[in-house]
Chain A
Amino acid sequence: MQKLLLLGDEAIAQGAIDAGLSGVYAYPGTPSTEITEYIQASREAKERNIRSNWSANEKTAMESAIGMSYAGKKALVCMKHVGLNVAADAFVNAAITGANGGLVVLSADDPSMHSSQNEQDSRFYGKFAMIPVLEPSNQQEAYDMTRYAFALSEKFGTPVLIRVTTRLAHSRAGVQRVEVLDQNDLHLPSNLKQFVLLPSIARKQYNQLLGKQARFEADALTSGYNQLIEKDNHKLGIIACGLAYNYLIENFEDHQVPYPVLKVGQYPVPHDLVRKLYDQVDEILVLEDGYPLFEELLKGYLNNGKKIMGRLDGSIPMAGELNPNIVAHAMGIPVNVGHQNPTVIQGRPPSLCDGCSHTDSFLALNEALRNFSSGRVFSDIGCYTLSALKPLESINSCVDMGASITMAIGAADAGLVPSVASIGDSTFTHSGMTGLLDAVNNNSPIVVVILDNSTTGMTGGQQSSALGKIDTICLGLGVHPDHIKIITPLRRNHEENVKVITDELNYQGVSVIIARRECIQTLGRRMKLKAMQKMESNN
């Protein structure tokens, strides 16, 4: 087969399809979105009946995948790193139940926070759950490791975590495919109580998981994904995890590093390999994207051994993703300097599209709030978070998905009345509904503005789970029908919309204002598709 030019994300998707995947479960999130999108668009996946619809959030995705694994088939769950926080309960407990059909969890980290609230390192979750973690260093490995992850999962009856970072997820290179494996047949676990985590059973299961640890490490020694590359110069030894290996070899002629290097791609990292490296060198440099997870392990609390360099001793900055020059600096290798950037350059922060419905919603909200003291709009994550910036400067919080409504409840309880929550439609069904139930049960004096642009805008316009359902969801959760208002955020409706919001701000209970107008990007794509379909049917 010819090589395919694939993003890291696409390599994972193709790797999963070729490994005999039966279903992918995911909620969009940069930089993981393209995995599921690739499977959704893949003709092979369609022919093979691989299910790939978006889930409402990462927890529902994780749980559905556990269900598919229970039924004996191979399931992939994809999310961005903070999505793993949402899925954590299911994720950590899946390590205790173990897997039946291959269960692979993919978490895409975003060091340097290109599109995220933090740069948490998913490898900690793998260690926390005590399951094997794979970390590819290039697109080919991303493909190969995905296949290997399913094999590993079924061999040991455990979920396996794959960790990638933005740089690999969104970088393209050639990938060689191998033969496509069949999907599994439906087959339930031989022990039908395996997934019943009653304490008496969970204790047994947990002991089994503990018992597997040595085998996980033994596998990491033989799989080929951890390699000790021996060299003659023993002044320094280098441990390079995932992508860091590329940044290291980039600095040497023909990629020949004069020092021994332990290239890490599978955790737990085998003690044997680490000891072998440690014993032969004077000092150690640890290169890893994300937190200093392995460096800390190696160093221990007291650092009584050899000198260990990395993020903790300042050889490498604590925050941000690695690159070739950061590695060069840490090793004292001289680097090229480019032209100095002139001072005329100004920052160009992202902004709402011209004609975005959110702009009209926030212009109306800003005006309705003019007679109140400022600082009372709790918001959420999506395109609309850009309303924090100039010129709108409408919102005062963005913490995690769903936090707008619940933070407004707490602030109102503390006396900030009225408090306002603004939340997108996809975020609302991701994690806002339970908060709204709390507000109803609490009769909180809050106004919830649901910014319904009928899509998941921020991540590129994926189908929103909320589509066509928001009004009835709010009614069902117990919001009084008189206080569910629907407005159309358009310039020409401005006065009317301000009045609706003002009236609800004066109401001492839960109000929901649904600001409904489709995202213009999604609308544009939909119209294009329609025109194309029309053209085809005319032909």
Chain B
Amino acid sequence: MKKDIILAGVGGQGILTIATVIGTAALMEGLQLKQAEVHGMSQRGGDVQSHLRLSSKPIASDLIPEGKADLVISVEPMESLRYIIMMNKETGWLITSMNPFINMSNYPSLEELLAEIWNLPRNVTIDAEKVAKELGTVKAANIVVLGAASPYLEIKFDNLEKAIESIFAEKGNDMIQLNLKALRAGRELADKRG
């Protein structure tokens, strides 16, 4: 098994939490992993990405080679497109929320962005914020996106659930339940797509 995943978003949107959940679940399955994170300057409202590599064999580079990512998982549509250059053209999937994060004056039109995304051979777009809001807080949008990406991860869904239980443990049962619901809701959206 080998999955090279680019996680994308804007500083503060919680992509590192997605990485931690996938990483924890991967460890439960006995996989090796390397995860390159972004800290520092660019976290301040800039674009951030993380390279998450899972494999049943030893992993060499902390960075995924360009053109080899199996998945781009993004919590922001424009940010998802920034990394399609990293994606494997023949097999790569792009899974993104379609909720723009606009903290700049020259943000392109959402229609144009979605057109580019839908133009890709394998893509999933979801309204993660709507789902998260229905559950009580837009903050869980990142976990909704993770749910939508879960069919492509080759990781057992209940291990993702267990990972959420352990990661949010110190934040209390309410947070665990909220994020479990977010994960399942995202998964449902992906399944509905068929």
Contact = CB atoms under 8 A, between A and B. Distances in A.
The finding on whether chains A and B are genuine partners in a shared complex, rather than unrelated, reads yes
Interface of A: 5, 7, 30-31, 33-34, 114-115, 167-168, 170-174, 243, 246-247, 249-251, 254-255, 323-325, 328, 335-342, 344-353, 383, 386, 390, 458-460
A341 B38 contact: no
Given A246-B60, A247-B61, A250-B61, A350 B43 contact: yes
**Which of B44, B58, B66 has its CB near the most chain A CB atoms (within 10 A)?**
B44
A5 B166 CA distance: 15
B44 A383 contact: yes
A47 B60 CA distance: 36
11 contacts: A114-B41, A171-B36, A173-B33, A174-B27, A174-B32, A338-B87, A342-B81, A344-B81, A344-B112, A346-B104, A350-B43
A173 B66 contact: no
Given A323-B63, A337-B89, A341-B82, A30 B106 contact: no
A475 B155 CA distance: 62
A339 B45 contact: no
**Which of B46, B66, B69 has its CB near the most chain A CB atoms (within 10 A)?**
B66
Contacts of A338: 66-67, 69, 84-89, 92
A45 B23 CA distance: 26
A496 B32 CA distance: 59
Contacts of A251: 65
B186 interface: no
Nearest to B119: A342
B108 A114 contact: no
A328 B66 CA distance: 11
Contacts of A345: 78, 81-82, 108
B67 A351 contact: no
A350 B81 contact: no
Looking at chain B, what size class is its interface with the partner chain?
35 or more
A328 B63 CA distance: 14
Interface string B36-64: 11111111111100010000011111110
A167 B63 contact: yes
A383 B11 CA distance: 14
A172 B24 CA distance: 12
Nearest to A172: B35
Given A31-B40, A336-B65, A348-B104, A171 B46 contact: no
Contacts of A325: 65-67
Contacts of A7: 37
B116 interface: yes
Given A34-B39, A350-B45, A336 B89 contact: yes
Contacts, number: 159
Given A114-B42, A346-B104, A351-B104, 11 more contacts: A167-B62, A170-B36, A246-B61, A336-B67, A338-B89, A341-B85, A348-B103, A349-B104, A350-B41, A390-B105, A458-B44
Nearest to A30: B40
Contact of B44 (A254, A335, A339, A386): A386
Nearest to A169: B39
B145 interface: no
A324 B107 contact: no
A344 B108 contact: yes
A74 B42 CA distance: 34
A33 B41 CA distance: 13
A323 B65 contact: yes
Interface in B74-101: 78-79, 81-82, 84-89, 92
A308 to B, nearest CB: 24
Nearest to A459: B40
Q: Please list the 7 inter-chain residue pairs (A to B) with the smallest Cβ-Cβ separation, ordered nearest first.
A: A336-B67, A30-B40, A350-B46, A115-B40, A115-B41, A350-B44, A171-B62
A335 B68 CA distance: 9
Interface string B6-38: 000011000000000001000100001111111
Nearest to A324: B65
Contacts of B116: 342, 344
B138 interface: no
Contact of B81 (A33, A34, A341, A458): A341
B108 A353 contact: no
A168 B61 CA distance: 10
Given A246-B60, A348-B46, A31 B39 contact: yes
**Which of A33, A344, A348 has its CB near the most chain B CB atoms (within 10 A)?**
A348
B135 interface: no
A386 B45 CA distance: 11
Nearest to A349: B46
